Amino acid sequence: MPEPVTPLDLAANPTGEAITLDARGLSYRALNEQLDAAVTAGATAARLVNVYGQRYIGTNLQRRVRIDIEGVPGNDLGAFMDGPEIHVHGDAQDGCGNTMNSGLLAIHGSAGDILGHSMRGGAVFVRDDVGYRVAIHMKAYEDVRPTVVIGGTAQHFLGEYMAGGVLLVLGRRLPPGAVHPARYVGTGMHGGVIYLRGRPNQAFLGKEVGLAPITDADRALLGDLLGQYNALFGLHVSADDEYTKLIPQSKRPYGQIYAY
């Protein structure tokens, strides 16, 4: 079971408040250099304002620090991140959490394509919708399992080539009885688990995945993840709703293609 996310307390900052960095007019390189210098100097909380598409925010940061972003960060937010907690108070672009190792991304809006690409640990929570190929190549190692929770809907190729971890899509705004719009869900999937609140159209699923019954352990996991989601975004989604569980049919779905 993924470890629960423990949000950082801004009061832990020795200065008593977050440092503020104004991104207006700064290149992505200059902004990230300022952020890295502040964190290296011991800042435990940072507030970034006037962010307009600067890329790589939080990339390769390996310290326990909370970062609040006001504006729209650019691609690869939190790439290779190992420990920080980032809150985006709005939307985010593509590649959030790319090859992320640990920490938390909480996006208080929607996010773009390939969120969680090759993600290896930590957790990403998105309040609303996401784009294409979310959680592609997400993987796990021993007891480290990454987690992605999507509050809205996702576009096609959700969980493509997924090798590990937990992916939960809530479809919070779907009308009763509506199916999730994503097609080719779990194409090439060979590890991990996907949960969908409600039911998918089985014709939309990749041939490599199958339905599995929801167990008590699944309910406990869903309860933990939904508790975190609700706490982060001030919402209420119940673990008692109907959920569909998708698992891979094989750990080596394309093995025969390469076998001699």
Q: How many CA atoms lie within 13 A of 36 on its CB side?
A: 15
Q: Distance (Å, rounded) from C-alpha 236 to C-alpha 213?
A: 24
Q: Distance (Å, rounded) from C-alpha 30 to C-alpha 131?
A: 28
Percent share of the chain, pLDDT over 70: 90
- The identity of residue 187, as a single letter, is T
Mean pLDDT value of segment 11-27 = 74
Encode pLDDT of 45-88 as tens digits. 999 999 999 999 998 888 889 999 999 999 999 999 999 999 99
Confidence band of 1 (pLDDT split at 50, 70, 90) = low
Encode pLDDT of 161-204 as tens digits. 999 999 999 999 998 888 999 999 999 999 999 999 998 999 99
In this prediction, residue 176 carries a pLDDT of: 82
Whole-model pTM: value is 0.90
Q: What is the set of domains in the chain, with CATH numbers? A: 110-253 (2.160.20.60)
Token pair, residue 214, equals 């929801």
**128 pLDDT above the threshold of 50:** yes
What backbone phi and psi angles, to 5 degrees, belong to 217? -65, -40
